[in-house]
Amino acid sequence: MCGIVGYTGSRQAYPVILKGLKRLEYRGYDSSGVALLKDGKLNVYKKKGKVADLEEAMIGKDIDASIGIGHTRWATHGEPSDRNAHPHSSSNGKLAMIHNGIIENYAQIKQDLVKKGYQFTSDTDTEVLLNFIEDIQKNNDHCSLEEALRIALKRVSGAYCILLIEQDNPDTIIAARKGSPLVIGIGKGEHFLASDASPIIEYTKEVVYVNDYELAIVKPDELILKNLGNEKVTPYITKLDMELAAIEKGGYDHFMLKEIFEQPSTIYDCLRGRLDAKELSIKMSGIDQHVNELMNANRIMILACGTSWHAGLVAEYIIEELCRIPVEVEYASEFRYRNPIVNKGDVIIAISQSGETADTLVALEKAKENGAFIFGVVNAVGSSIARISNAGAYTHAGPEIGVASTKAFTGQLAVLMMLALAIAKHKGTITADRYNNLLLELEGIPEKVEVILKNAGELKKMADKYKNASDFLFLGRGYNFPVALEGALKLKEISYIHAEGYPAAEMKHGPIALVDDQLPVVFIATQDTYHEKIVSNMQEIKARKGRIISIITEGDTVCPTLSDDYFSIPAVDELIAPILTVIPLQLLAYYVGTAKGIDVDKPRNLAKSVTVE
């Protein structure tokens, strides 16, 4: 949540920061601001709304500075407003700070500061931390900002990535992180700081991922990393493997549409070099080096949130079927706060697009403490979850910018399928024929996705027809039950239409009461073990005059007779079907959202990366 950017060097800082904020807007977009420092003068500008509103408000302002920090906010403490926007200024006006995260014990600190006479201009926890730092400087013989920050951070609880600049320190940004990401780009005589690499990529490919409990003192020509004990830490420089084109819209109206249409190539990239259709084998170093831990797992627990959790549900079905290992799928947010039983010999699979989801990260720390082996299925390279994992496999979907996750989900399914196949082969729980067939089916998926995308226009027409519905029901069985959940999530997050996903058989236990001649019911009814059963469920909805939309296998002659509208996908093995069946649902949600005039890349109240609990 919240995007942060900082620059120190010889360029004009504002254009670098503004462009960076636009790239990070997916992380939060209810207000934004910048602080620029020149000749001992700190100028702070902020504005409620999107970064474009800030840009407009900045016209005619003094932007001449070669050091600055900028922030795009997803509100936690305090409503979205100009005064709650970051950067915040300290009471004496000498410091400016931006923050991504939550200071949990801010209320107590605030009370103490108020008793000392501090006044606050915002409702944020950030302003509290900033004045706390100012107060520490005052009470410690005007110690350096770095020292004051170190003292403050030892006394606060919660999560943070913060950037600080100081009036009397003309070229230095001080940064610190715990639980919220920070990347530092290393240029020639300049440094870039950001929540992810997207604001940095066009200037340099050399970056340092700052770790938790580290402080960075960043000047144009110098980067010093220290731990909270004031000991120097050697920065580990990584080369970015990402191109600028990957984070631009490339002619599409929205990132979400671009990302949906990228799926043939992202799935191909995910399989490439891993799935060998000639040799009929899967080679993944993360699996090959840890075969014993994986195949001897007593139990697999999958921890994730949102769409990634849905991928976990699909994996539960597949792994139990192919590997005969018991699997439990848990919301990371629930796992972290209960007293779960995790034993040595348990394998945890962590699924995350961003690799920074706070609940997932903390749940993993807890599982790791209990001796579990962690296998990460992560999209963002170098992210916190990737780094905390004992082993893993990247989804290789490239940067996902639209708030609604699409290509990351199909990448997760592809990785999880390969993982299940590899474990099953090692364990001997799959026949050679079944293994070979599934492997070849998986290899053929990118082409089948192309076929679906060619018919996107049909879904646009459907979207126009159903866009005014106030509720939707999504139903699926077996491997397609999690897809029903995902279809409902996609629709509600970008169209604001209430939608529920259910296992089709559960419908009779309650949701059927909702059915009337206004309710669209989306069935995922491809040819599989459950086909006859789901046809019966369709009959039940039809008998109650519900409006049926079905996702079917091409050639199905039964479902069309029961459906008001249907969309055909190519035939595929039922274990792999979710990679295909989800795509029409992504498109349906996209077209409904855009038909309603919603900014689908930045739907209200959401942020791409949920780095607060």
One of 403, 415, 438, 548 touching ligand M6R (CB under 6 A): 403
As a whole number of angstroms, the longest Cα–Cα distance in the chain is 82
Residue 413 as a binder of ligand M6R (CB under 6 A): the answer is no
One of 8, 31, 90, 354 touching ligand M6R (CB under 6 A): 354
CB of 523 to ligand M6R, least distance (A): 21
| DSSP string for 388-403 | H-SEEEE-------SS
SS (H, E, C) 152-182: HHHHCCEEEEEEEEECCCCCCEEEEEEECCC
Question: For residue 180, which amino acid is it?
Answer: S
One of 305, 363, 459, 462 touching ligand M6R (CB under 6 A): 305
One of 169, 333, 405, 537 touching ligand M6R (CB under 6 A): 405
Residue 252's closest CA among 378, 30, 406?
Answer: 406
Residue 179 as a binder of ligand M6R (CB under 6 A): the answer is no
Annotated active-site residue 38? The verdict is: no
Residue 389 as a binder of ligand M6R (CB under 6 A): the answer is no
Residue 586 as a binder of ligand M6R (CB under 6 A): the answer is no
Length of the chain: 613
CB of 309 to ligand M6R, least distance (A): 7
Site for ligand M6R in 469-498 (CB under 6 A): 489, 493
Residue 76 as a binder of ligand M6R (CB under 6 A): the answer is no
C-alpha–C-alpha distance, residues 60 and 551, integer Å: 54
CB of 582 to ligand M6R, least distance (A): 11
Burial class for 100, CB neighbours closer than 10 Å (0-12, 13-18, 19+): buried
Residue 163 as a binder of ligand M6R (CB under 6 A): the answer is no
C-alpha–C-alpha distance, residues 600 and 591, integer Å: 9
Residue 303 as a binder of ligand M6R (CB under 6 A): the answer is no
Point out which span in 49-57, 285-293, 351-359, 428-436 binds ligand M6R (CB under 6 A): 351-359
8 CB neighbour count, 10 Å cutoff: 28
CA 54 from centre of chain: 25
Annotated active-site residue 305? The verdict is: no
Count of residues interacting with ligand M6R (CB under 6 A): 16
Point out which span in 98-106, 186-194, 267-275, 306-314 binds ligand M6R (CB under 6 A): 306-314
Residue 600 as a binder of ligand M6R (CB under 6 A): the answer is no
The structure tokens 């290509």 sit at 407
C-alpha–C-alpha distance, residues 306 and 329, integer Å: 12
Residue 209's closest CA among 391, 359, 385?
Answer: 385
CB of 587 to ligand M6R, least distance (A): 14
Residue 307 as a binder of ligand M6R (CB under 6 A): the answer is yes
Closer of 128 and 588 to ligand M6R (Cβ): 588
C-alpha–C-alpha distance, residues 551 and 570, integer Å: 11
CA 236, 239, 241, 247 torsion-angle sign: positive
Point out which span in 293-301, 303-311, 339-347, 520-528 binds ligand M6R (CB under 6 A): 303-311
Residue 504's closest CA among 529, 561, 584?
Answer: 529
The residues annotated as belonging to the active site are 2, 608
Residues of the shown chain interacting with ligand M6R in the complex, contacts defined by CB under 6 A: 305-308, 352-354, 357, 360, 403-405, 489, 493, 609-610
